[in-house]
Amino acid sequence: MKIFVDSADVEEIRKLWRLGFVSGATTNPSLVAKAGGDPKDIYEELASFLEHVSAEVVAEDADGMYREGKDLSSIHPNIVVKLPFTEEGLKALQRLKAEGVRVNMTLVFSPAQALIAARVGADFVSPFIGRIDDIGYSGMEVIRNTVRIFALYDINTQIIAASVRHPTHFIEAALSGAHISTVPPAVLWKLLKHPLTDIGLERFLSDWRKVQEAKVA
Protein backbone atom coordinates (compact mmCIF):
# COMPACT_ATOMS: atom_id res chain seq x y z
CA MET A 1 0.00 0.00 0.00
CA LYS A 2 1.36 3.40 -0.97
CA ILE A 3 1.18 6.22 1.55
CA PHE A 4 -0.12 9.68 0.64
CA VAL A 5 -0.60 12.74 2.85
CA ASP A 6 -4.11 14.13 3.04
CA SER A 7 -3.25 17.82 3.31
CA ALA A 8 -2.46 21.00 1.38
CA ASP A 9 0.15 22.21 3.86
CA VAL A 10 3.27 22.15 1.70
CA GLU A 11 5.79 22.46 4.54
CA GLU A 12 4.18 19.72 6.63
CA ILE A 13 3.99 17.42 3.60
CA ARG A 14 7.64 18.14 2.74
CA LYS A 15 8.71 17.28 6.31
CA LEU A 16 6.98 13.90 6.03
CA TRP A 17 8.25 13.30 2.48
CA ARG A 18 11.85 13.83 3.65
CA LEU A 19 11.44 10.68 5.79
CA GLY A 20 11.13 8.67 2.58
CA PHE A 21 7.78 6.90 2.83
CA VAL A 22 5.38 9.40 1.26
CA SER A 23 4.81 9.38 -2.50
CA GLY A 24 1.73 11.54 -2.98
CA ALA A 25 -0.73 14.02 -1.54
CA THR A 26 -4.47 14.48 -1.81
CA THR A 27 -5.98 17.91 -1.38
CA ASN A 28 -9.59 19.06 -1.36
CA PRO A 29 -11.20 22.52 -1.35
CA SER A 30 -11.46 22.55 2.48
CA LEU A 31 -7.78 21.66 2.89
CA VAL A 32 -6.63 24.19 0.27
CA ALA A 33 -8.77 26.94 1.84
CA LYS A 34 -7.25 26.11 5.25
CA ALA A 35 -3.69 26.22 3.87
CA GLY A 36 -4.30 29.67 2.29
CA GLY A 37 -2.37 31.15 -0.62
CA ASP A 38 -2.72 30.50 -4.34
CA PRO A 39 -3.97 26.94 -4.99
CA LYS A 40 -1.99 26.77 -8.25
CA ASP A 41 1.27 27.48 -6.36
CA ILE A 42 0.41 24.75 -3.83
CA TYR A 43 -0.24 22.16 -6.56
CA GLU A 44 2.84 23.18 -8.54
CA GLU A 45 5.13 22.98 -5.54
CA LEU A 46 3.76 19.65 -4.34
CA ALA A 47 4.01 18.14 -7.83
CA SER A 48 7.68 19.12 -8.02
CA PHE A 49 8.57 16.42 -5.46
CA LEU A 50 5.58 14.03 -5.33
CA GLU A 51 4.53 11.51 -8.00
CA HIS A 52 0.80 12.10 -7.34
CA VAL A 53 -0.99 15.29 -6.33
CA SER A 54 -4.78 15.18 -6.34
CA ALA A 55 -6.29 18.61 -7.05
CA GLU A 56 -10.05 18.97 -6.86
CA VAL A 57 -12.40 20.96 -9.09
CA VAL A 58 -14.99 23.24 -7.50
CA ALA A 59 -17.37 23.63 -10.46
CA GLU A 60 -20.65 21.73 -10.14
CA ASP A 61 -21.52 21.29 -13.82
CA ALA A 62 -19.75 18.98 -16.25
CA ASP A 63 -18.55 21.78 -18.57
CA GLY A 64 -17.06 23.71 -15.67
CA MET A 65 -15.47 20.58 -14.18
CA TYR A 66 -14.00 19.69 -17.56
CA ARG A 67 -12.50 23.17 -18.03
CA GLU A 68 -11.11 23.28 -14.49
CA GLY A 69 -9.80 19.74 -14.84
CA LYS A 70 -7.95 20.67 -18.02
CA ASP A 71 -6.42 23.72 -16.32
CA LEU A 72 -5.37 21.75 -13.26
CA SER A 73 -3.83 18.95 -15.30
CA SER A 74 -1.83 21.46 -17.34
CA ILE A 75 -0.04 22.68 -14.19
CA HIS A 76 2.17 19.56 -13.97
CA PRO A 77 2.09 15.95 -15.26
CA ASN A 78 1.92 14.66 -11.67
CA ILE A 79 -1.43 16.37 -11.04
CA VAL A 80 -4.43 14.04 -10.84
CA VAL A 81 -7.81 15.76 -11.21
CA LYS A 82 -10.27 15.05 -8.43
CA LEU A 83 -13.94 14.97 -9.45
CA PRO A 84 -16.89 14.49 -7.11
CA PHE A 85 -19.01 11.38 -7.64
CA THR A 86 -22.08 13.12 -9.09
CA GLU A 87 -23.85 12.71 -12.43
CA GLU A 88 -22.05 15.83 -13.67
CA GLY A 89 -18.79 14.41 -12.33
CA LEU A 90 -19.29 11.22 -14.37
CA LYS A 91 -19.88 13.27 -17.52
CA ALA A 92 -16.73 15.32 -16.88
CA LEU A 93 -14.80 12.09 -16.17
CA GLN A 94 -15.57 10.75 -19.65
CA ARG A 95 -14.43 13.96 -21.34
CA LEU A 96 -11.23 14.25 -19.31
CA LYS A 97 -10.37 10.57 -19.85
CA ALA A 98 -10.85 10.98 -23.61
CA GLU A 99 -8.07 13.55 -23.42
CA GLY A 100 -5.76 11.40 -21.31
CA VAL A 101 -6.22 13.31 -18.04
CA ARG A 102 -5.82 11.16 -14.90
CA VAL A 103 -8.82 11.30 -12.57
CA ASN A 104 -9.43 10.48 -8.91
CA MET A 105 -13.16 10.09 -8.21
CA THR A 106 -13.82 11.47 -4.75
CA LEU A 107 -16.73 11.49 -2.27
CA VAL A 108 -17.23 7.77 -2.87
CA PHE A 109 -19.23 6.10 -0.12
CA SER A 110 -20.23 2.70 -1.53
CA PRO A 111 -18.75 -0.16 -3.58
CA ALA A 112 -21.45 0.53 -6.22
CA GLN A 113 -20.22 4.10 -6.69
CA ALA A 114 -16.64 2.82 -6.85
CA LEU A 115 -17.51 0.21 -9.51
CA ILE A 116 -19.40 2.76 -11.60
CA ALA A 117 -16.55 5.28 -11.41
CA ALA A 118 -14.10 2.55 -12.44
CA ARG A 119 -16.27 1.49 -15.38
CA VAL A 120 -16.47 5.08 -16.59
CA GLY A 121 -12.66 5.20 -16.49
CA ALA A 122 -11.50 6.65 -13.17
CA ASP A 123 -7.84 5.93 -12.47
CA PHE A 124 -8.44 6.21 -8.73
CA VAL A 125 -11.49 6.01 -6.45
CA SER A 126 -11.52 7.46 -2.95
CA PRO A 127 -13.94 5.83 -0.49
CA PHE A 128 -14.19 8.00 2.65
CA ILE A 129 -13.79 5.60 5.58
CA GLY A 130 -14.15 8.02 8.51
CA ARG A 131 -17.23 9.76 7.18
CA ILE A 132 -18.94 6.39 6.61
CA ASP A 133 -18.10 5.35 10.20
CA ASP A 134 -19.50 8.70 11.39
CA ILE A 135 -23.00 7.80 10.16
CA GLY A 136 -22.93 4.37 11.80
CA TYR A 137 -21.79 2.14 8.94
CA SER A 138 -18.45 0.45 8.36
CA GLY A 139 -16.06 2.40 6.14
CA MET A 140 -13.68 -0.53 6.14
CA GLU A 141 -16.34 -2.83 4.76
CA VAL A 142 -16.71 -0.48 1.81
CA ILE A 143 -12.94 -0.75 1.22
CA ARG A 144 -12.96 -4.55 1.58
CA ASN A 145 -15.93 -5.03 -0.78
CA THR A 146 -14.50 -2.64 -3.35
CA VAL A 147 -11.17 -4.50 -3.28
CA ARG A 148 -13.05 -7.80 -3.80
CA ILE A 149 -15.15 -6.53 -6.68
CA PHE A 150 -12.17 -4.97 -8.46
CA ALA A 151 -10.22 -8.24 -8.08
CA LEU A 152 -13.15 -10.36 -9.35
CA TYR A 153 -13.40 -8.32 -12.55
CA ASP A 154 -9.74 -7.48 -13.06
CA ILE A 155 -10.32 -3.76 -12.68
CA ASN A 156 -7.15 -1.67 -12.67
CA THR A 157 -8.58 1.40 -10.93
CA GLN A 158 -6.64 2.07 -7.73
CA ILE A 159 -8.44 2.32 -4.41
CA ILE A 160 -7.41 5.20 -2.15
CA ALA A 161 -8.57 4.69 1.43
CA ALA A 162 -9.51 8.27 2.38
CA SER A 163 -10.95 10.06 5.40
CA VAL A 164 -8.52 8.16 7.63
CA ARG A 165 -8.96 9.24 11.24
CA HIS A 166 -6.62 7.05 13.30
CA PRO A 167 -3.79 4.49 13.07
CA THR A 168 -6.21 1.53 13.12
CA HIS A 169 -7.87 2.79 9.93
CA PHE A 170 -4.43 2.85 8.29
CA ILE A 171 -3.56 -0.75 9.25
CA GLU A 172 -6.99 -2.08 8.37
CA ALA A 173 -6.85 -0.36 4.98
CA ALA A 174 -3.50 -2.07 4.34
CA LEU A 175 -4.87 -5.47 5.42
CA SER A 176 -7.94 -4.96 3.23
CA GLY A 177 -5.82 -4.50 0.12
CA ALA A 178 -6.32 -0.77 -0.55
CA HIS A 179 -3.65 0.33 -3.05
CA ILE A 180 -3.12 3.66 -1.33
CA SER A 181 -4.02 5.22 1.98
CA THR A 182 -4.19 9.00 2.22
CA VAL A 183 -3.55 10.00 5.79
CA PRO A 184 -3.71 13.36 7.62
CA PRO A 185 -0.29 14.52 8.94
CA ALA A 186 -1.37 14.18 12.59
CA VAL A 187 -2.14 10.47 12.07
CA LEU A 188 1.10 9.89 10.13
CA TRP A 189 3.17 11.38 12.97
CA LYS A 190 1.38 9.02 15.38
CA LEU A 191 2.22 6.03 13.14
CA LEU A 192 5.91 6.77 13.53
CA LYS A 193 5.79 6.63 17.31
CA HIS A 194 5.94 3.58 19.54
CA PRO A 195 6.71 3.83 23.28
CA LEU A 196 8.80 0.64 23.16
CA THR A 197 11.04 2.17 20.46
CA ASP A 198 11.76 5.14 22.75
CA ILE A 199 12.29 2.97 25.82
CA GLY A 200 14.45 0.52 23.84
CA LEU A 201 16.67 3.25 22.44
CA GLU A 202 17.07 4.87 25.83
CA ARG A 203 18.15 1.50 27.28
CA PHE A 204 20.62 0.74 24.46
CA LEU A 205 22.25 4.14 24.80
CA SER A 206 22.46 4.04 28.58
CA ASP A 207 24.05 0.53 28.46
CA TRP A 208 26.49 1.82 25.88
CA ARG A 209 27.38 4.87 27.97
CA LYS A 210 27.91 2.72 31.10
CA VAL A 211 30.51 0.57 29.29
CA GLN A 212 32.28 3.62 27.86
CA GLU A 213 32.43 5.23 31.30
CA ALA A 214 33.76 2.00 32.85
CA LYS A 215 36.53 1.91 30.21
CA VAL A 216 37.60 5.47 31.06
CA ALA A 217 37.51 4.83 34.84
Contact region for ligand E4P (CB under 6 A) — 12-20, 108-116, 128-136, 188-196?
128-136
Which of 17, 124, 128, 170 touches ligand E4P by CB under 6 A? Answer: 128
Q: Is 130 one of the binding residues for ligand E4P (CB under 6 A)?
A: yes
For residues 23 to 62, the per-residue mask of contacts with ligand E4P, x marking binding by CB under 6 A and - elsewhere, is ---x-x----------------------------------
Cα–Cα dist 114/109, whole Å = 8
**Cβ closer to ligand E4P: 44 or 133?**
133
Active-site choice (82, 97, 210, 215): 82
Q: Is 146 one of the binding residues for ligand E4P (CB under 6 A)?
A: no
Contact region for ligand E4P (CB under 6 A) — 10-18, 117-125, 127-135, 193-201?
127-135
Q: Is 131 one of the binding residues for ligand E4P (CB under 6 A)?
A: yes
**Cβ closer to ligand E4P: 54 or 73?**
54
In degrees and rounded to multiples of 5, residue 104 shows phi and psi of: -110, 115
Q: Is 111 exposed, middle or buried (0-12, 13-18, 19+ CB in 10 A)?
A: buried
Cα–Cα dist 145/119, whole Å = 16
Q: Concatenate the DSSP letters of all residues of 127-194 into one string.
A: EBHHHHHHTTS-HHHHHHHHHHHHHHTT--PEEEEBS--SHHHHHHHHHHT-SEEEE-HHHHHHHH--
Cα–Cα dist 92/7, whole Å = 24
Cα–Cα dist 93/65, whole Å = 9
Alpha carbons within 13 angstroms on the beta-carbon side of residue 92 total: 28
In degrees and rounded to multiples of 5, residue 137 shows phi and psi of: -115, 175
Cα–Cα dist 162/174, whole Å = 12
**Cβ closer to ligand E4P: 33 or 199?**
33
For residues 92 to 111, the per-residue mask of contacts with ligand E4P, x marking binding by CB under 6 A and - elsewhere, is --------------x-----
Q: Is 6 one of the binding residues for ligand E4P (CB under 6 A)?
A: yes
CB of 217 to ligand E4P, least distance (A): 56
Catalytic (active site) residue 215: no
Which of 163, 170, 178, 188 touches ligand E4P by CB under 6 A? Answer: 163
Binding site for ligand E4P (CB under 6 A): 6, 26, 28, 106, 126, 128, 130-131, 162-163, 182
Instruction: Indicate which residues carry an active-site annotation.
Output: 82
